[in-house]
Chains A and B, each alone.
Chain A
Amino acid sequence: MKAADVAQAVVETFADALCVSSLGTATSALRAASDDGPHFYLGASMGSALAAAMGVAEAVPDRLVVAVLGDGELLMGASALWSVSAYRPRNLVAVVLSDGAYDITGGQQLSAPPRFAAVAQALGGIAGLRVSSDSGLRRALAELGRPCLIEAELTESAWPGPSPFVDPAQVRLAFAANAARTPAS
C-alpha cells in the first residue's frame, strides 16, 4: 500500500466524512484522493492533527470524522491518544500512514517502531488494528468499533501528488461549510 491508496480507501468508504489530515504526506494524499475536497488540511502544527480531529468529532457528533495522520506526526502528539481514550468520541476514526519515516523532511527514520495500534488497545476504549493490505484496511474501516485507530503499514514510498502547503483561509471556509451541512443519510 501507498499513502495514496490509504486515503483513497478512506474517501471511498466514508464519502460523507469530515476528514482532518496532518501536514505532509497525509494532506497531499487526502487532497489527491478527495479531489481537493472540503477537509481540514493542516499545513503545519505537527503533532496537533489528532487533537484537532477530536475537537471536530465532538463539535459535530452526527458526522463521522476521520483523522489521516503521519506516523511521525502522531508520535509527536501521541499523548492525544490518552485523551481519545478518556473521552471516547464514537464518531472518530484515526488512520495512521505507517512507514516508519518522516517523509516531509526527507525520509529520516523514526527511532523506534511506534506500535500505535497496540498502544491504542492498551489504553482502553479505542479499537486498534494494524493492517497491511488494501482489503484489510477497507474491512477495518467498515467494521471496527469507534473510536478506533487503524495503523496502515505502507510498503511503498511514493509522494501522493498535490502540494501539502495549503491556503489556510480557503481550507477554513470550505471546511466550515462542509461541517455545517446536514449529514447525508
Chain B
Amino acid sequence: MVTDTPRLDWQSAVADALVAAGITVAAYVPDTRLQGILSLLADNGVRMRSLTREEECIGYAAGQRIAGRRPVVLMQSSGLGNALNALGSLAVPYRLGLPLVVSMRGTLGEANPSQVPLGRSAAELLRTLGIQAFSLRTAAAAAQVTAGAVTLAFQAGECAALMLEAELGGGREGS
C-alpha cells in the first residue's frame, strides 16, 4: 500500500525522470527512503506491485521486460542480497536491461550494525555481476542520473542501478 507521504525534491526528480522514460510498472519491496518516489509513481498512473521479496521483484520485472514493457525495480540495499541470484542468472544473461533503484542503508548515519555489511558492499556486488551502479547524493543530480541509468537499461540493454545514498535524506538514519 502506498500511503500519503512528504515528497522531497530529489524524490520528485527521480520519479519524474522514471515517468518521462516511460516506466509503466514498479515492482518493489517497501522502504522509508523510497516511499516518496513510490507515491509519486502511483500518482502518475504507474502500476504498483508490492511483492514479497526482492528476487520476486526481479522475476516479475523480467517477465514485464521480456514482454516489451518498461518496469522499474525498487528495493533497500539489504534486499539486494536476496535479489543477486535472479539478477545474475536471469536479468544479466538474458540481457533484460532492468533499471534498479536501491535505497542505501548501512552507510553514513547508520545505527543498526546488521545493515552495514550489505550496505557497504552493495555497489561492489552489483559491479561484480557486471551491473553499473550510480550513486545519487544530491537533488541537483537526480534527474540527470536517473534518466541516464534508465537509458542504459532500456536502450543499451544493461541492468543499471541508481543508488540512493544517505546524504539525500528521507531515510531511517535521518529520523
Contact = CB atoms under 8 A, between A and B. Distances in A.
Answer yes or no: do A and B interact.
Answer: yes
Nearest to B57: A51
Contacts of B63: 20, 40, 51-59
Q: Considering residues A42, A43, A59, which has the most beta carbons from chain B within 10 angstroms of its beta carbon?
A: A59
Interface in B41-91: 47, 49, 51-53, 55-69, 71, 85-86, 89-90
Contacts of A60: 67
Contacts of B59: 45, 47-52, 55, 77, 80
A107 interface: no
B51 A51 contact: yes
Chain A interface, >50% SS class: helix
A82 interface: yes
Contact of A55 (B60, B89, B95): B60
Most chain B CB within a 10 A radius of its CB, from A42, A43, A52: A52
Contacts of A82: 52
Contacts of B64: 55-56, 58-59
Given A77-B56, A79-B52, A168 B93 contact: yes
B94 A172 contact: yes
A50 B59 CA distance: 8
A46 B55 CA distance: 10
Contact of A180 (B25, B68, B93, B94): B68
B94 A80 contact: no
Given A171-B94, A176-B68, A45 B60 contact: no
Contacts of A53: 63
A54 B60 contact: yes
Contact of B62 (A52, A57, A169): A52
Contacts of A87: 49
B96 interface: yes
A163 interface: no
Contacts of B61: 55
Contact of A48 (B25, B55, B71): B55
Given A54-B63, A59-B63, A42 B55 contact: no
Interface of B: 25, 27, 47, 49, 51-53, 55-69, 71, 85-86, 89-90, 93-96
Given A42-B90, A54-B63, 18 more contacts: A43-B89, A45-B59, A46-B85, A48-B59, A48-B90, A51-B58, A52-B66, A53-B63, A55-B59, A55-B60, A55-B71, A58-B47, A58-B63, A79-B52, A79-B56, A169-B95, A175-B66, A176-B67
